[in-house]
Amino acid sequence: MFNKAILIGRLVADPELRTTPGGISVCSFRIAVDRPYTPRDGSEKVADFIDIVAWRERAEFVSRYFSKGKPILVEGSIQTRSYVDKNDQKRTAVEVVADNLRFVESKSASNQAASRPLPSDMDAPSRGGIAAPSPAYSSGNAEDFAEIEDDGDLPF
């Protein structure tokens, strides 16, 4: 079995960050994803509105760096759950549980349109959409490396 969703869309509203009674961060938001075709009748493009749920560090990442209208890439799995609403009607919710979240637009494009500029170490997200500072390659020296003898044979 395989359950993988990869979506690029824009946030419909600001993300909503909450904390469970156990202290775990959870963020719910909705993105608008354009359908990949243009209607023949000349009408406007059609978009689907997809509910997304992010947990823990991913939840905090989304709530801190994304807001209404910002483009986002969401990678995750589709999940369904059933519940009874306040009118005692059985409902089913379909949502994507985010495993990975990434910036879509460049940092400069984001900064031009944003009221909250991003820190310089957030322009290249890594594992799980959480950005890591750029490595400092200048901290080593030549004595840290060993020379390998070349026998002329290619390794491939």
Read off the pTM.
0.65
Residue 126: pLDDT over 80 = no
Whether 121 shows a pLDDT value over 50: the answer reads: no
> Among residues of the chain, what percentage have pLDDT more than 90?
57
Domain boundaries, the chain: 5-128
Q: How confident is the model at residue 113 (pLDDT cuts 50, 70, 90)?
A: low
CATH number of 5-128: 2.40.50.140
Mean pLDDT confidence for 51-77: 95
Question: What Å distances lie between residue 139 and 37, 57, 135, 136, CA to CA?
Answer: 50, 29, 9, 6
Cβ atoms of 133 and 126 closer than 8 Å: no
Q: Higher-confidence residue: 52 or 125?
A: 52
Cβ–Cβ under 8 Å, residues 28 and 15:
yes
Question: What average pLDDT does the segment 99-123 reach?
Answer: 63
